[in-house]
Structure 1
Amino acid sequence: MRPIHALTHALAPLALALAAAGCSTIGDDSSSSAPDDATKPTRVVLVTHESFSLPKPLIKQFEQASGLDLVVRATGDAGILTNKLVLTKDDPLGDVAFGVDNTFASRALDAGVFAPYDAALPDGAEEYRLPGDDEHGLTPVDDASVCVNVDDTWFADHDLAPPRTLDDLADPAYRDLFVTPGAATSSPGMAFLLTTIAAYGEDGWQDYWTKLMDNGVKLTAGWSDAYEVDFTQGGGHGDRPIVLSYDSSPAFTVSGGTSSTSALLDTCFRQVEYAGVLDGAANPDGAEQLVDFLLSPEVQAALPESMYVFPVDSSVKLPAEWARFAEQPSDPYEVDPGAIGEHRDEWLREWSDVTSR
């Protein structure tokens, strides 16, 4: 990892076609949390982001094994989710939250949103623990790195070598070619801002962003606008062959046995998504069962094709196209979660000042 001085990952997970608008539910959300005798809960409520999706047979498997109906309340991205959890911490929206990532986790922990639960982690997952979370309020479930992606076909057709580094993005050779979601409105956009803070330091990232703006970078509200509309490989007839996306994205642009895009692995920031039992949950036992379920081999194996993220279980065999084309960075940028919590608002104000000039 490359820390910034004292500083040490959504997807928000990748919000693609499976993202549900508004509030989605699985199970009967109108049912009571317990039968009339109030002795045993009949459901467990998962609060999550709009990109949450698992195969229905897996949901049914959990319900049959636990004897509980799983109710899913999905809204917004990781940032919106975290804000809602903090605002409702005294009257939690459910029993479990999934989707808070390492760019927002410190805020939720500082607010006392989560109850301790030391889940048994699968192979390899220990490395994804959140630094400073000594009480294990958050359990790592998946990860995906935010990286700059390029359209290799476009660059070959235009006889231009694609960029490779962050510095290259400010080179006049790539003027008006880069599109990225903004840091103030997007979880991956925030991750890219943190990438530049880690790379150029607390006193240097502002100059880097000034150079990006001078070089014609386009800012969008979210990942979908950047990738699906402006990116040349996104299907929207865009005109920008450089986009902020994920290390997994090249696995979804495969045709004829090869991918038309690449992730620049020297530009990546790792995002880890967590699940946690909400403090004050109506069904804490069911909540712990649900966290364990998200770590099960079946769910971990389903994550790549269901939510476009990597499992934290290192023993899981990835889909063939992922194993070949979704290469992960060996040394992603990282910023200490505590520093993010302390400086997020300040950094966003400075970023907004630079990008609005």
Structure 2
Amino acid sequence: MELTPDHPVKPVILVVDDTPDNLLLMANLLKDSYTVKAANNGDKALKIANDSPPPDLILLDIMMPGMNGHEVARGLELGAADYITKPISPPVVLARVRTQLKVKDAAEFLRDKNDYLEQEVLRRMRELGAIQDVTIHAMASLAETRDNETGNHIRRTQHYVRVLAEHLREHPRFRRFLDDDTIKLLFKSAPLHDIGKIGIPDRILLKPGRFTPEEFEIMKTHTTLGRDAIAHAEQQLGMDVDFLRLAKEIAHSHQEKWDGSGYPEGLAGDAIPISARLMAVADVYDALISRRVYKEGMPHEQAVQIILDGRGAHFDPDICDAFQACLPLFQQIAARFADSDQDMARQAAAIAHNTPAA
């Protein structure tokens, strides 16, 4: 660090030499521009060098009794950046010192700049994650206001999906897909599985009983409506948004069945996106155990048996096996986000008045 208006304190130079005349010579040469510290042996040099703050530059004699210059440099875990031969030339010494201090200043500037950039990248990543969360939450909340199911269904199913994904992350069929980032996106995207219901008329969406065949055909369109709503949001941005890719898959394909008898496209087996296959198990299980104003929730054991009976027909067999292995966690999630009497009252009011729940 050179003496400049930005650096009013003189840079500190440590001179290490076992010859007093050499120490005096260097001190007189450097004292006008630098603060000079001196050490006549390696032990003393290490002690001074390890003080806080350390010197900005060390001029180190190699041939010294006891601990020589090479040993001192290893002790400092640094290494030489330049050398000066004896007898010294004052102009050469001053030029080399200035050069090395400039190199040190540049290195420190770049290190500080890199630290700043790393912190800025982390800040931007946190900001992007927050934007993703807010976007998905806003879209999911919009769907929630149109559905007679409670927001707890959304929360339960996203936790079910994460549990299944984490259980399957090392499975040979899924490990290439289920990395940390994808599992996080699955958790974020799962609440959008029924966003297409915003396009279903109230007379069908809020109907407490069974649908007529015509009504069911209209209800089935919620999968395509959901995918298209998310795709439309991307078009408004003028780009594909990676974090919405899984949301589109889940919204469009979570009603597909392993044997090809589902909708909207009748996909079968591995043609169904993994994200949608995970969502299918989570969604059906929760629909079975959840109480509604027009039905009681099914006992856990009965719901589990229906899921297992659908292994290889409705559901991916390996995901069914993961579901069975994770049953205690599913029960914990169901209990944690159980529907309250207040939730049921809002559903009843929405159905009675044929208006969205508040």
Specify the TM-score bucket, using the shorter chain as the normaliser: under 0.3
Larger Rg: 2
Higher strand proportion: 1
- Say which structure, 1 or 2, has more relative contact order (CA 8 Å, 6+ apart): 1
Instruction: Give TM-score scaled by structure 2 length.
Output: 0.24
Higher helix proportion: 2
